[in-house]
């Protein structure tokens, strides 16, 4: 079984630089950051410190917004969403660890808009893999990689943060 | 695939919740899972749009054969916060009063492609009966049946206790009042024992305690001060006057004199005791207003928690007829 490790720190460096460039280009003033539970929150926590954001980090648990509830049912979640700032009219930095089909981000955007209407949302992703299923894609990425259909990439953490590519037995 | 039913009508073949009829027979793990899920719904009320799309496209029928504004309303709010469509059927003015049988009513509603029944009925076992006869895709939630069970009230009560007290295994919980007629008390006793509470006490006059109530795993007291000694939680029960057919108590005034919760009596409990009541309160009968509105009271928090707990139960029971698929869906 393949178990290819990717180094997280260089990817964080690239993602941070990409976010800074994009924020400058889009005149992204006074941003508030949201990490998607669980891996996205770990990455957001690191970027939040690197970018020197003063406002507390927001946490989004998109379980109640997934489009696959009718297939997977309910699972207990002990980390509810916490957005310690007003979303209305804000520039939001939305952060996740892995971008695959795009459905998680769709769910996250739906949830964010239930808290208010942000001015802009900028999506930062540590790893973008192939397999996009809906017309959503990240603005900034640490790295893009191509994987086989039966391969997954998983972030473990929060300390240390480690990426691992592995095989799965069934399709999502 | 339609999951097959197990020996426990409430669970599917994978041990997941299909119906929620009683706390009896459910595992500690499942009760904790309900509370954990309810915990995560708390943030929904902080949203500008107080809804999540989990049950979008589903139809929940509140099938109330017995009046209850509070329970029906909280089920309705819970279902609507999950984006379900809700039908409220007042059975007193519906077809059953014109002679239609209960099963005919159920069949007609099934033909309207509904997905869930929340049932309240004056007869014990009514929710079980309906659960045994509904179409396989429909879930049934017991909103209170006769003197038998009120499992969602019990779950919101233990959820409230968990909010204030960390460790169930160290708690002494007193349930006070009309145990005999109380479906809430029966369900609470089962829930508290399943969660391994250190001691569950029932306190009341002999006329309002069931025979052999100790077999449910409780200790009994007929003196309020003695029973309240050193307890962490006091759950006051409403006098079920509508279910009393005989002279169970001399007068309400005398009942309050012996079993009414006053500040002085509450001082027998631990200093950080919490006081609960499933409502509606009979002030001056079961509980003094100073206690009901006092610093130890968590009665209004119970109402708030009731919505989150019912959201959890509705969403867990309305699970798919498919096995869960694993894998990263990012």
Structural domains in chain A plus CATH codes: 10-147 (3.40.50.2020)
Average pLDDT on B309-329 reads 67
Work out the pLDDT band at A67, boundaries 50, 70, 90: confident
Q: What is the per-residue pLDDT for B116?
A: 97
- Distances in Å between the Cα of B154 and the Cα atoms of B10, B150, B180, B206 are 16, 6, 16, 23
Is residue A136 classed exposed, middle or buried when 0-12, 13-18 and 19+ CB atoms within 10 A define those classes? middle
Q: Is residue B2 within 8 Å of B135, Cβ to Cβ? A: no
Write out the DSSP string of B147-187. TTB-HHHHHHHHHHHHHH-S-GGG-EEEEES--TT-HHHHH
Q: Taking the C-alpha atoms of B40, B43, B44 and B49 in order, what is their torsion angle to the nearest 10 degrees?
A: -150
Local structure of A114: helix, strand or coil:
helix
Q: Do B43 and A80 touch (CB under 8 A)?
A: yes
Chain A partners of B20 at a C-beta cutoff of 8 Å?
none
Work out the pLDDT band at B323, boundaries 50, 70, 90: very low
Average pLDDT on B176-181 reads 91
Domain assignment of residue B11, yes or no? yes
* Residue A26 in this model has a pLDDT that exceeds 80: yes
Domain assignment of residue B193, yes or no? yes
Tokens read off for B6: 């197990």
Domain assignment of residue B324, yes or no? no
Chain A residues near any Cβ of chain B (below 8 Å) = 61, 63-66, 68-74, 76-83, 87-88, 96-101, 103-104, 110-111, 113-116, 152-154, 168, 170-172
Partner residue opposite A80 with nearest CB, options B42, B319, B326: B42
Instruction: Dump pLDDT digits (tens) for B47-90.
Output: 899 999 999 999 999 999 888 888 999 999 999 999 999 999 87
Same-domain status, B213 and B134? no
The CATH number given to whatever domain includes residue B242 is 3.40.50.1370
Write out the DSSP string of A56-87. PPEEE-GGGG-TTHHHH-----S---B--S--
Same-domain status, B196 and B282? yes
Chain B partners of A65 at a C-beta cutoff of 8 Å?
52-53
Work out the pLDDT band at B3, boundaries 50, 70, 90: very low
Domain assignment of residue B156, yes or no? yes
Same-domain status, B155 and B291? yes
* Residue B329 in this model has a pLDDT that exceeds 50: no
Better-scored residue on pLDDT, B121 or B254: B121
Domains in chain B, number: 2
* Residue A3 in this model has a pLDDT that exceeds 90: no
- Distances in Å between the Cα of B194 and the Cα atoms of A141, B17, B22, B158, B190 are 49, 17, 12, 11, 6
Q: What is the mean pLDDT of chain B?
A: 88
Same-domain status, B247 and B137? no
- Using CA atoms, how far apart are residues B19 and B144, in angstroms rounded to an integer? 14
Report the gap between the CA of B231 and the closest CA in chain A (Å): 29
Work out the pLDDT band at B285, boundaries 50, 70, 90: confident
Report the gap between the CA of A141 and the closest CA in chain B (Å): 15
Same-domain status, B124 and B189? no
Domain assignment of residue B85, yes or no? yes
Instruction: Dump pLDDT digits (tens) for A70-99.
Output: 766 666 666 889 999 999 999 999 999 999
Residue B206 marked ligand-binding: no
Domain assignment of residue B328, yes or no? no
- Using CA atoms, how far apart are residues B225 and B209, in angstroms rounded to an integer? 17
Q: What is the per-residue pLDDT for B94?
A: 61
* Residue B274 in this model has a pLDDT that exceeds 80: yes
Work out the pLDDT band at A69, boundaries 50, 70, 90: confident
- Using CA atoms, how far apart are residues B47 and B25, in angstroms rounded to an integer? 36
Q: Which residue range(s) make up the domain with B252?
A: 151-298
Residue B329 marked ligand-binding: no
Domain assignment of residue B1, yes or no? no
Domain assignment of residue B212, yes or no? yes
Q: Do A80 and B47 touch (CB under 8 A)?
A: no
Same-domain status, B21 and B157? no
Q: Is B33 on the interface with A (CB under 8 A)?
A: yes
Report the gap between the CA of B47 and the closest CA in chain A (Å): 5
Residue B320 marked ligand-binding: no
Radius of gyration for the alpha carbons in chain B, expressed in angstroms and rounded: 20
Same-domain status, B200 and B272? yes
Work out the pLDDT band at A169, boundaries 50, 70, 90: low
Same-domain status, B129 and B165? no
Same-domain status, B202 and B261? yes
Closest alpha carbon within chain A to B33: A76
User: What percent of chain B has pLDDT above 70?
Assistant: 88
What ipTM describes this predicted complex? 0.81
- Distances in Å between the Cα of B272 and the Cα atoms of B257, B269, B298 are 24, 8, 12
Do the strands B219-221 and B199-203 form a parallel or antiparallel pair, or are they unpaired? parallel
Average pLDDT on B227-248 reads 80
CA B39 to chain centre: 17
Same-domain status, B185 and B107? no
- Which residue intervals of chain B are DSSP H helices? 28-41, 69-81, 102-110, 126-133, 151-164, 183-194, 224-228, 252-259, 263-266, 289-292, 299-317
Same-domain status, B132 and B261? no
Element at A41 (helix H, strand E): helix A39-50
**Tokens 């005919």, residue?**
B104
Q: Do B328 and A170 touch (CB under 8 A)?
A: no
Q: Do A66 and B316 touch (CB under 8 A)?
A: no
Work out the pLDDT band at B46, boundaries 50, 70, 90: confident
Closest alpha carbon within chain A to B31: A76
Q: Torsion-angle region of residue B232: left (phi > 0), alpha (psi -120 to 50) or beta?
A: alpha
Closest residue by Cα to residue B144 from B312, B29, B306 = B306
CA B228 to chain centre: 23
**What number of other Cβ atoms are within 10 A of residue A157's Cβ?**
17
Same-domain status, B199 and B145? no
């Amino acid at each position: 079984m393949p178990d290819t490790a990717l180094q997280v720190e260089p990817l964080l460096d690239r993602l941070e630089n990409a976010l800074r460039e994009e924020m400058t280009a889009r005149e992204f003033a006074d941003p508030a950051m949201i990490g998607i539970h669980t891996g996205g929150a770990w990455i957001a926590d690191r970027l939040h410190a690197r970018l020197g954001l003063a406002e507390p980090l927001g946490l989004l648990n998109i379980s109640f917004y997934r489009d696959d509830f009718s297939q997977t049912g309910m699972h207990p979640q002990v980390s509810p969403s916490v957005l310690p700032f007003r979303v209305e009219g804000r520039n939001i930095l939305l952060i996740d660890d892995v971008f695959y089909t795009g459905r998680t981000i769709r769910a996250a955007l739906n949830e964010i808009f239930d808290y208010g209407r942000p001015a802009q949302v900028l999506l930062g992703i540590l790893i973008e893999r192939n397999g996009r299923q809906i017309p959503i894609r990240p603005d900034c990425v640490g790295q893009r990689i191509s994987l086989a259909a039966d391969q997954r990439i998983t972030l473990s953490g929060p300390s240390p943060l480690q990426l691992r590519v592995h095989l799965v037995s069934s399709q999502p | 695939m339609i999951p097959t039913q197990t020996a426990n009508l409430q669970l599917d073949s994978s041990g997941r919740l299909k119906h929620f009829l009683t706390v009896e027979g459910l595992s500690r793990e499942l009760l904790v899972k309900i509370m954990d899920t309810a915990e995560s719904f708390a943030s929904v009320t902080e949203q500008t749009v107080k809804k999540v799309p989990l049950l979008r496209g589903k139809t929940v029928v509140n099938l109330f054969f017995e009046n209850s504004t509070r329970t029906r309303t909280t089920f309705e709010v819970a279902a609507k916060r999950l984006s379900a469509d809700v039908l409220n059927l007042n059975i007193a003015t519906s077809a059953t009063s014109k002679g239609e049988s209960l099963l005919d009513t159920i069949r007609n509603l099934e033909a309207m492609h509904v997905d869930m029944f929340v049932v309240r009925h004056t007869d014990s076992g009514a929710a079980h009966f309906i659960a045994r006869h509904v179409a396989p895709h429909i879930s049934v939630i017991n909103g209170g049946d006769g003197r038998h069970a009120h499992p969602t009230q019990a779950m919101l009560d233990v959820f409230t206790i968990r909010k204030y007290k960390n460790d169930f295994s160290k708690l002494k919980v007193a349930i006070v009042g009309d145990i005999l007629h109380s479906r809430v008390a029966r369900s609470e006793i089962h829930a508290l024992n399943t969660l391994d509470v250190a001691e569950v006490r029932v306190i009341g006059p002999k006329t309002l305690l069931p025979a052999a109530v100790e077999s449910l795993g409780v200790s009994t007291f007929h003196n309020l001060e003695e029973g309240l000694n050193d307890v962490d939680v006091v759950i006051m029960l409403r006098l079920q006057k509508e279910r009393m057919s005989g002279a169970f108590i001399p007068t309400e005034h005398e009942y309050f004199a012996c079993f009414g919760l006053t500040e002085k009596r509450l001082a027998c409990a631990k200093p950080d005791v919490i006081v609960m009541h499933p409502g509606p309160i009979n002030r001056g009968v079961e509980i003094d207003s100073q206690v009901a509105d006092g610093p130890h009271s968590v009665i209004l928090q119970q109402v708030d928690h009731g919505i989150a707990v019912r959201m959890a139960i509705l969403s867990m029971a309305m699970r798919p007829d498919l096995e869960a698929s694993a894998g990263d869906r990012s």
